[in-house]
Amino acid sequence: MNPDKELEKNIARLEAEIEKLKHDLIHDALTGLKTRNFFKERAVEIISSIENLKQEKRKEGFHNFSVLFCDIDNFKEVNDKFGHEGGDDVLKKVSKIIKDEVRAADIVCRWGGEEIVVALLGADENEAAKKAEEIRVAVEEGIRDIGVTVSIGVACYKRGLNKDSIIKFADQAMYLAKKEGKNKIKTYSDVLIVGKETK
Nearest C-alpha neighbor of 28 from the set 115, 135, 149, 136: 115
DSSP label at 125? H
Where in the chain does DSSP place strands (E)? 65-72, 107-112, 115-121, 150-156, 185-187
CA-CA-CA-CA dihedral for 149, 88, 114, 62, to nearest 10: -90
Residue of 101, 114, 115, 125 marked active site: 114
114 a catalytic residue? yes
The closest of 39, 129, 141, 42 to 97, measured between CA atoms, is 141
Check if the beta carbon of residue 113 is closer than 8 Å to that of residue 75. Answer: yes
The catalytic residue positions are 114
